[in-house]
Amino acid sequence: MADRPLWTSAEADKATGGRSNEPWTADGVSIDTRTLEQNDLYIAIKGDHLDGHDYVDAAFENQAAACVVSQAATVTGKPALVVEDTFAGLNALGRAARTRTKARIAGITGSVGKTGTKEALRFVLQKQGETAATTGNLNNHWGVPLSLARMRPRVAYGVFELGMNSPGEITPLSHLVRPHVALITTIAPAHTEFFDSLGEVADAKAEIFDGMDGGVAVLNRDNAYFPTLAVAAYGRNLDRVIGFGAHPEATARLLDADPDSAGSDVKAEIDGQQISYRIGQPGRHWIFNSLGVLATAAALGADLRQAAEDLAEIPQAKGRGELIRVQLAGGPIEVIDDSYNASPASMRAAFETLSQFKPGPGGRRIVALGDMLELGPRSPALHAGLAEALAACSVDLVFTAGPEMAHLAEALPEASRGAHAADSSALATLLTGMVHPGDVVTVKGSLGSRMAIVVDALRGLGAPQPVAVNG
């Protein structure tokens, strides 16, 4: 039996209060004609710089099922749903999709590790039932309702990432998602430009509880802001708080871990159950991420032991720690592509992960770092402060790019200075001329620092081969 459409014109009309000019059905939802797929419903969003109504013709050229447009727009001879405001229409579809599903829903936020944790949770839940999840990092006021609007009624689980740059941004997203379980990965310096303290960041992350009707909070028990978040959770009448970490009072508690360059063997106790499992991603931060994932999966009603077993097979994500072997004439180099995002905490985690790798004969541990953005007035000190962590993790050479990373370059001892460049393009030229067989190179920076250019340049030195680290 063929699957029912994601949306019919009658359902969308009822959800939005608009009116379709003819019947239609759609199997997906899109707000971007560049990624629109055949039979998607295209919603013409008017943003700060672009108006989606200018791309309605392109949407139909790409075989959109129908378009959602405002009263001011005119669509002739094509199926269209006319609403007063297309952004409100998108939110209405997301709200209706959430209302019609019986899925168990998780909301995820935190200063560091949101997207990786979201992907890991999606992966283990998908093994146990159909799961809807945020694609990429569609975690803002456009991305969250879009992700919800793409959720089919029949799914068993939903996993949605909620992001913010300023206070008050998560509350409306939480009211849309209405999670049964809220996971806050950690509170750390990241995107702090609009906050005077980490306490304010914690308060803003606690907004994820605002849309909950009871439910469970899963919080980092090792983080200094655990008490603040726990008080906020109970203050919103949540039913339970689960702490994860190495803390002796953690409900999901780390007992032992044996990390290596391909992952970690973990022993933990979760809600009184002792389990042993393999996490198929390198880095000590993944050990703790996995505890949060398993605690959340269990709180959603999933099978804990199956979820733990499936953690061994988590696929690597481009730009988020993907390991690539590039074959040079005299032997390979290994590149750890962590270029998607960066904060002081995730930088330190990346350095620790690199320390688990043993370079080949004559090789070195190298980092190529771009600016960490949106850190506010403390940015120079936070960049310079990475020098100590680099030394502790036995990093041999440090290459830097950008005006903020110049502060780190100045703080480094002479022996570990590779080179500094104005931007990632210039750094790519410098670095590719200095690596040699046996080197292990971590590339990391905020997305706006464009460190993927450096990864692409390293790939271009030879034949790149993704490395399976999860067995």
Note whether 246 and 267 are within 8 A (CB).
Answer: no
Q: Give the burial string for 8-31 (b: 16+ CB within 10 Å, else e).
A: ebebbbebbebebeeebbbbbbbb
pLDDT at 69: 96
Domain 101-313 indexed as CATH 3.40.1190.10: yes
Query: Strands (DSSP E) along 10-90, which ranges?
Result: 19-20, 25-26, 28-30, 40-43, 66-70, 80-83
- Closest Cα partner for 250 from 227, 232, 269, 231? 269
Rg (CA), the chain: 23
What residue spans in the chain does CATH classification 3.90.190.20 cover? 322-466
Residue 67's beta-bridge partner residues? 42, 80
- Closest Cα partner for 124 from 314, 322, 299, 321? 314
Task: Name the CA dihedral angle for 450, 453, 455, 460, rounded to a multiple of 10 degrees.
Answer: 170
Note whether 19 and 13 are within 8 A (CB).
Answer: yes
* Upper half-sphere CA count for residue 401 (Cβ side, 13 Å): 26
pLDDT tens-digit series, residues 123-180: 999 999 999 999 987 899 999 999 999 999 999 999 999 999 889 999 999 999 999 9
Residue with tokens 């790798």: 357
Report how far apart, in Å, the C-alpha atoms of 118 and of each of 138, 224, 441 are: 12, 22, 26
Residue with tokens 């990432």: 161
Domain 7-85 adopts which CATH fold? 3.40.1390
Under DSSP, the state recorded for 371 is P
Task: Name the CA dihedral angle for 55, 163, 342, 283, rounded to a multiple of 10 degrees.
Answer: -120
Note whether 268 and 255 are within 8 A (CB).
Answer: yes
pLDDT at 48: 83
Instruction: Provide the sign of the torsion angle of the four alpha carbons 213, 215, 220, 223, taken in this order.
Output: positive
Q: How far apart are CA 248 and CA 405, in angstroms?
A: 38
pLDDT at 52: 94
| pLDDT-flagged residues of the chain (< 70) | 1-2, 72-73, 191-193, 464-471
> What's the pTM?
0.85
pLDDT at 464: 64
What residue spans in the chain does CATH classification 3.40.1190.10 cover? 101-313
Decide: residue 353, CB within 10 A, 0-12 exposed, 13-18 middle, 19+ buried.
Answer: buried
- Closest Cα partner for 313 from 341, 277, 346, 285? 277
pLDDT at 403: 97
- Mention every residue, 6+ apart, whose C-beta is less than 8 A from residue 85: 70
What residue spans in the chain does CATH classification 3.40.1390.10 cover? 7-85
- Mention every residue, 6+ apart, whose C-beta is less than 8 A from residue 272: none
Q: At 275, phi and psi to the nearest 5? A: -135, 150
Q: How far is CA 97 from the centre of its chain?
A: 22
Domain 322-466 class, CATH top level: alpha beta
Query: Strands (DSSP E) along 408-462, which ranges?
Result: 417-421, 440-444
pLDDT tens-digit series, residues 77-106: 899 999 999 999 999 999 999 999 999 999
Ramachandran bin of 216, using left for φ above 0, alpha for ψ from -120 to 50, beta for the remaining angles: beta
Q: Give the burial string for 137-157 (b: 16+ CB within 10 Å, else e).
A: ebbbbbbbbbbbbbbbeebbb
